[in-house]
């Protein structure tokens, strides 16, 4: 079986700053990968390269073993890559349903927006994530942080994706909603989707992810199976940028 | 503001129970604008000893509103995308002059095709200028303020250079109808037919949207509320027609009916409202204004949308220039001068936020009517133009201040409602 996503030797400069300097990761179908690193390590930048927000200066991306060009967000979506951005990337003046379908509106014959159909589908996906979500008709700018995050997640799972990237998806969520996202991750995983989760919460990461990729200053520190390491080992990788000694052999 | 976007039930503010307006499905801010307009009209009626609210004056007021109103409709979309177009007055003047020169001095005058062809060329010139400005903004990332400030200078200059400052007249008689005037109205019968069509379209739109929501299992508005709304709006439409029909051509008892420039304005407003509410294009315009980065990440073709918005604005400016030229019966260098200010003011009074992301076409038309009403009333009162400008300026500030208060109350402190 070929690997779902591979990113090799990705470089990205912003002005003089090398945000990515040879970053890499890979992801199998049905796998949850944790992407870890200190603030400014380049996690979001790597995610944005994968979703087409920034083209990489150098490096290659393979999907199912085939080299692909992802020049813009449309390309990524066409390839089945969905992203929940750290900033959520919501249009604050539009309501939840309009945000969920932004760029992929359902239209009637003749090209008119099918508001009722979108609202129907949008309400369903929102209800799956949070049964208490009732603010369907207010601009998302006036929703709470957690509600906004639910809208961003709903947008990513509304369309059949093969790869789902979540950049700190639970940062603003309460315990119940966080548990809901955990269940969601496991369900999508069992359906064969590949997921990449960026998070600083090691507890969540250890409970959800099968494998971890740690970055430091735009470079890969290492890739480990969650079962082979302790949280302290991973903290060492994040902070000191060193592979834990006893698991070096178990490096995958 | 979602204000104006289809999904949100208008009139229902976040965290509030839908009040009467919400139940009726009427946008509370539009209702507030209508209320303001009514107050201004009554006030001016009293101040002018009863000459303001007469069919004759209202008919003139409607025709005077057309030029600014047509441009204000497009300006809403430009401002919603967080941009501005300062060149609209100059584009109007330039397109008007192009039409005049072609019509009077280049093509054979008196042929049936002359007015149509020259009008089409003029509108094409406007759209092309707009598209070029949009492209400079979208692809070369030159701020719209700068591009269109340059456009203001360039196209005013081009209009002058076309004739070295000469005024070109007279225009083709058919073309003159576009400006209104004594012949340029459609008469009573056609006005009633249009009014009836408008009522039918309104009822069909609201009831079919209701039926569709029901089919998806949403609880619709109560039928009585829908009926009340349709009746209220039908009353406005038919009342408007009745007023236009009760002004007779001078020294006859033939009713004028809706004048052609007003018809053009109504058509433009309907098309833009349709674009803004029911098409992807409109959705993307609002998304770009709400959060440009989010729009980009969602795959919205932002650059193309921006170019299209400016092209549309240029087209409408040229259309307004054609109306003004027809009305004046001459291509003149002063056509459209300072119009950009009235147009932007109309959009802003109509509730368009200069921060982007919010505004409605209907609001902008109401804003244009409010501005024109004040101006018209003050002329009737014999106020000098300098004082009229002072008052309009004060009104602009009060309108924006009231709008800011409203937003703070309605939208909460969080993003997007700046
Ligand atoms: N658009 C940009 N322009 C300039 N520099 C940027 C840009 N985006 C990221 N950077 C820089 O790239 C580096 C990596 O940033 P990135 O957002 O990828 O970090 P991160 O690992 O996601 O951090 P965090 O945990 O805080 O989210 C940082 O030094 C940042 O300053
Ligand atoms: Mg980040």
Q: pLDDT tens digits for A26-62? A: 999 999 999 999 999 999 999 999 999 999 999 999 9
Query: Is A86 a residue whose pLDDT tops 60?
Result: yes
Domain residue ranges in chain B:
19-184+259-417, 185-255
Query: Is B415 a residue whose pLDDT tops 50?
Result: no
**Least CB-CB distance to B290: which of A88, A93, A119?**
A93
A26: left (phi over 0), alpha (psi -120 to 50) or beta: beta
pLDDT at residue number B399: 86
The residues, ordered by sequence, that sit 6+ positions from A99 with a Cβ below 8 Å of its Cβ are: A90, A91, A140, A151, A152, A155, B294
Of A81-90, B181-190, B340-349, minimum mean pLDDT range: B181-190
Query: Which residues in A44-66 are b (16+ Cβ under 10 Å) and which e?
Result: bbbbbbbbbbbebeebebbbeee
Mean pLDDT of chain A: 91
Q: Which ligand is nearest to the CA of A36?
A: 1
What is the rounded distance in angstroms from the CA atom of residue B98 to the CA atom of residue B91? Answer: 10
pLDDT at residue number B20: 74
Tell me the CB-side half-sphere exposure of residue A3, using CA atoms within 13 A: 12
* Residue to substitute in A7, A18, A19, A201 for testing ligand 1 pocket (most ligand atoms within 8 angstroms of CB): A19
Q: Give A115's contacts in chain B (Cβ within 8 Å).
A: 6-7, 209
What phi and psi values does residue A89 have, to the nearest 5 degrees? 50, 55
Q: Contact at 8 Å (CB) between B9 and B213?
A: no
- B279/A112 Cβ within 8 A: yes
Q: Which ligand is nearest to the CA of A48?
A: 1
- Taking CA atoms only, the protein residue closest to ligand 1 atom 5 is A14
Helix (H) or strand (E) holding B101: helix B88-101
For residue B71, give the nearest of B272, B308, B276, B328 by alpha carbon: B272
pLDDT at residue number B378: 95
The matching CATH number, chosen from 1.10.357, 3.40.50, 1.25.40, 1.10.3470, for B19-184+259-417 is 1.10.3470
Average pLDDT over residues A153-168: 93
Chain B, 274 to 313: residues with Cβ < 8 Å from chain A are: 278-280, 283, 286-287, 289-291, 293-300
Place of tokens 């969080």: B414
- B415/A92 Cβ within 8 A: yes
CA distances in angstroms from B2 to A96, A174, B81, B406, B407, listed in the order given:
11, 27, 13, 14, 12
B17 inside 8 A of chain A by CB = no
Mean pLDDT of chain B: 90
pLDDT at residue number B176: 96
Average pLDDT over residues B388-403: 89
- A112/B278 Cβ within 8 A: yes
Query: Is B117 a residue whose pLDDT tops 90?
Result: yes
Q: How far is A226 from chain B (nearest CA, A)?
A: 32
Q: Give A97's contacts in chain B (Cβ within 8 Å).
A: 7
Query: Is B13 a residue whose pLDDT tops 60?
Result: no
- Classify burial at A8, counting beta carbons within 10 Å of its beta carbon; exposed 0-12, middle 13-18, buried 19 or more: middle
What is the rounded distance in angstroms from the CA atom of residue B195 to the CA atom of residue B26? Answer: 20
Joined together, the tokens standing for residue A202 give 């090691």
**Least CB-CB distance to A103: which of B5, B8, B299?**
B299
CA distances in angstroms from B409 to A2, B16, B166, B402, B412, listed in the order given:
56, 11, 53, 11, 6
The residues, ordered by sequence, that sit 6+ positions from B39 with a Cβ below 8 Å of its Cβ are: none
pLDDT at residue number B284: 98
Residue B16: which pLDDT band, with cuts at 50, 70 and 90? Answer: very low
CA-nearest residue of chain A to B14? A138
Q: Contact at 8 Å (CB) between A146 and A90?
A: no
Distance of CA A211 to the CA centre of its chain: 15
- A142/B412 Cβ within 8 A: yes
The residues, ordered by sequence, that sit 6+ positions from B124 with a Cβ below 8 Å of its Cβ are: none
Number of neighbouring beta carbons within 10 Å of residue B345 = 23
- Classify burial at B147, counting beta carbons within 10 Å of its beta carbon; exposed 0-12, middle 13-18, buried 19 or more: buried
* pLDDT tens-digit series, residues B119-173: 999 999 999 999 999 999 999 999 999 999 999 999 999 999 999 999 998 999 9
Name every protein residue with a CB atom under 6 angstroms from any ligand 1 atom.
A 14, 17, 19, 37, 39-45, 86
Q: Mutating which of A141, A143, A149 best tests the B interface, going by the most B Cβ atoms within 10 A?
A: A141
CA distances in angstroms from B408 to A52, B8, B104, B154, B241, listed in the order given:
36, 18, 54, 40, 37
Among the residues of A57-113, which ranges form H helices?
73-78, 96-100
pLDDT at residue number B411: 55
* pLDDT tens-digit series, residues B249-302: 888 888 999 999 999 999 999 999 999 999 999 999 999 999 999 999 999 999
- Classify burial at B131, counting beta carbons within 10 Å of its beta carbon; exposed 0-12, middle 13-18, buried 19 or more: buried
Q: Three-class SS string for A39-59?
A: CCCCHHHHHHHHCCCCCCCEE
- Taking CA atoms only, the protein residue closest to ligand 1 atom 1 is A14
Tell me how many residue pairs between chain A and chain B have CB atoms under 8 A apart. 140
Query: Is B6 a residue whose pLDDT tops 80?
Result: no
Joined together, the tokens standing for residue B157 give 């200059």
What is the rounded distance in angstroms from the CA atom of residue A42 to the CA atom of residue A38? Answer: 9
ipTM score assigned to the predicted complex: 0.91
- Taking CA atoms only, the protein residue closest to ligand 1 atom 4 is A14
- In chain B the first and final C-alpha atoms are separated, in Å, by 10
pLDDT at residue number B45: 96
In the sheet with A5-14, reading across from the earlier edge strand, the strands are A17-27, A5-14, A58-63, A66-68
Residue A246: which pLDDT band, with cuts at 50, 70 and 90? Answer: low
Q: How far is A244 from chain B (nearest CA, A)?
A: 37
Query: Is B222 a residue whose pLDDT tops 60?
Result: yes
**Least CB-CB distance to B287: which of A91, A115, A143?**
A91
Q: How far is B2 from chain A (nearest CA, A)?
A: 5
What is the rounded distance in angstroms from the CA atom of residue A198 to the CA atom of residue A43? Answer: 7
Q: For the structural domain made of A3-90+160-240, what CATH number should be given?
A: 3.40.50.300
Q: Contact at 8 Å (CB) between A89 and A148?
A: no
CA-nearest residue of chain A to B215? A116
Residue B18: which pLDDT band, with cuts at 50, 70 and 90? Answer: low
pLDDT at residue number B7: 38
* pLDDT tens-digit series, residues A13-35: 998 899 999 999 999 999 999 99
Query: Is A251 a residue whose pLDDT tops 80?
Result: no
- Taking CA atoms only, the protein residue closest to ligand 1 atom 27 is A39
Q: From the alpha carbon of A38, which atom of ligand 1 is closest?
A: 25
Distance of CA B226 to the CA centre of its chain: 27
Report the share of chain B in percent with pLDDT over 90: 78
Question: What's B178's DSSP letter?
Answer: G
pLDDT at residue number B9: 39
Q: Contact at 8 Å (CB) between B356 and B289?
A: yes
Average pLDDT over residues B378-400: 92
Q: From the alpha carbon of A46, which atom of ligand 1 is closest?
A: 18
Q: Mutating which of A75, A84, A88, A91 best tests the B interface, going by the most B Cβ atoms within 10 A?
A: A91
Q: From the alpha carbon of A200, which atom of ligand 1 is closest?
A: 25
Query: Is B29 a residue whose pLDDT tops 80?
Result: yes
A105 inside 8 A of chain B by CB = yes
Average pLDDT over residues B395-416: 72
What is the rounded distance in angstroms from the CA atom of residue A72 to the CA atom of residue A37? Answer: 25
* pLDDT tens-digit series, residues B190-214: 999 999 999 999 999 999 999 998 9
A119 inside 8 A of chain B by CB = yes
pLDDT at residue number A212: 95
Place of tokens 């509106």: A105
- Taking CA atoms only, the protein residue closest to ligand 1 atom 17 is A44
Place of tokens 């009732």: A134
What is the rounded distance in angstroms from the CA atom of residue A61 to the CA atom of residue A79? Answer: 12
Chain B, 345 to 374: residues with Cβ < 8 Å from chain A are: 357-358
Cis peptide upstream of residue B339 (ω within 30 degrees of 0): no
Q: Contact at 8 Å (CB) between B91 and B126?
A: yes
In the sheet with A81-84, reading across from the earlier edge strand, the strands are A81-84, A163-167, A194-198, A32-37, A211-216, A219-225
Q: Maximum CA pair distance of chain A?
A: 64
Question: What's A131's DSSP letter?
Answer: T
Joined together, the tokens standing for residue B4 give 């104006």
What residues does the ion ligand 2 have nearby, CB within 5 Å?
A: A 44, 86
Q: Provide the strand spans (E) within B116-197.
A: none
* pLDDT tens-digit series, residues A113-155: 999 999 999 999 999 888 888 888 899 998 988 899 999 999 9
A50 inside 8 A of chain B by CB = no
pLDDT at residue number A1: 63
Query: Is B330 a residue whose pLDDT tops 70?
Result: yes
């Amino acid at each position: 079986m070929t690997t779902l996503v591979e990113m090799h030797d990705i470089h990205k400069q912003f002005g003089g700053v090398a945000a990515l300097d040879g970053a890499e990761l890979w992801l199998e179908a049905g796998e949850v990968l944790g992407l870890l690193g200190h603030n400014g390590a380049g996690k979001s930048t790597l995610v944005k390269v994968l979703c087409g927000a920034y083209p990489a200066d150098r490096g290659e991306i393979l999907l199912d073993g085939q080299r692909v060009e992802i020049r813009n967000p449309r390309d990524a979506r066409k390839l089945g890559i969905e992203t929940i951005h750290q900033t959520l990337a919501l249009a604050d003046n539009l309501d939840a349903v309009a945000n969920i379908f932004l760029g992929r509106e359902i239209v009637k014959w003749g090209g008119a927006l099918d508001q009722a159909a979108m609202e129907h589908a949008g309400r369903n996906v929102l209800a799956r994530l949070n049964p208490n979500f009732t603010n369907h008709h207010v601009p998302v700018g006036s929703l709470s942080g957690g509600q906004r995050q639910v809208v961003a997640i709903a947008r990513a799972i509304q369309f059949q994706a093969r790869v789902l990237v979540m950049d700190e998806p639970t940062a603003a969520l309460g315990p119940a909603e966080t548990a809901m996202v955990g269940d969601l991750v496991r369900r999508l995983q069992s359906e064969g989707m590949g997921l990449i989760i960026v998070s600083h919460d090691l507890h969540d990461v250890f409970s959800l992810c099968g494998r971890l990729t740690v970055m430091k200053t735009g470079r890969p520190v290492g890739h480990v199976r969650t079962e082979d390491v302790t949280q302290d080992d991973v903290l060492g990788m994040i902070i000191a940028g060193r592979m834990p000694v006893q698991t070096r052999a178990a490096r995958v | 503001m979602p204000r104006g976007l289809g999904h949100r039930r208008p009139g229902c503010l976040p965290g509030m129970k839908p009040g009467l307006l919400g139940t009726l499905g009427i946008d509370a801010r539009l209702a507030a604008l209508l209320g303001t307009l009514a107050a201004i009209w009554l006030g001016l009626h009293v101040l002018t000893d009863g000459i303001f609210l007469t069919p004759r004056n209202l008919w003139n007021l409607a025709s005077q509103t057309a030029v600014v109103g047509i441009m204000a409709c497009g300006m809403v979309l430009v401002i919603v995308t967080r941009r501005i177009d300062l060149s609209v007055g100059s584009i109007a003047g330039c397109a008007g002059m192009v039409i005049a020169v072609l019509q009077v001095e280049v093509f054979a005058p008196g042929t049936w095709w002359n007015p149509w062809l020259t009008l089409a060329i003029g509108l094409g010139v406007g759209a092309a200028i707009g598209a070029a400005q949009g492209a400079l903004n979208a692809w070369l990332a030159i701020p719209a303020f700068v591009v269109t400030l340059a456009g203001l200078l360039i196209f005013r200059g081009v209009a002058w250079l076309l004739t070295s400052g000469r005024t070109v007249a007279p225009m083709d008689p058919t073309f003159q109808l576009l400006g209104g005037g004594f012949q340029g109205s459609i008469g009573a019968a056609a006005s009633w037919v249009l009014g009836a069509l408008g009522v039918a379209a309104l009822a069909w739109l609201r009831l079919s949207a209701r039926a569709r929501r029901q089919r998806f299992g949403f609880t619709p508005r109560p039928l009585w509320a829908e009926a009340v709304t349709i009746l209220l709006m039908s009353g406005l439409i038919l009342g408007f027609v009745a007023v236009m029909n009760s002004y007779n051509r001078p020294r006859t008892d033939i009713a004028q009916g809706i004048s052609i420039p007003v018809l053009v304005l109504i058509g433009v407003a309907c098309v833009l409202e349709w674009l803004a509410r029911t098409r992807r294009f409109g959705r993307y315009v609002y998304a770009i204004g709400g959060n440009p980065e989010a729009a980009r990440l969602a795959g919205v073709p932002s650059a193309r949308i921006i170019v299209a918005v400016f092209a549309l604005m240029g087209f409408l400016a040229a259309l307004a220039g054609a109306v003004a030229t027809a009305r004046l019966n001459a291509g003149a260098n002063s056509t459209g001068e300072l119009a950009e200010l009235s147009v932007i003011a109309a959009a802003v009074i109509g509730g368009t936020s200069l921060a982007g992301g919010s505004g409605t076409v209907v609001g902008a038309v109401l804003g244009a009517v409010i501005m024109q009403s004040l101006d018209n009333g003050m002329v009737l009162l014999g106020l000098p133009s300098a004082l009229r400008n002072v008052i309009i300026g004060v009104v602009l500030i009060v309108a924006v201040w009231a709008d800011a208060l409203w937003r703070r109350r309605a939208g909460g402190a969080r993003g997007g409602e700046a």
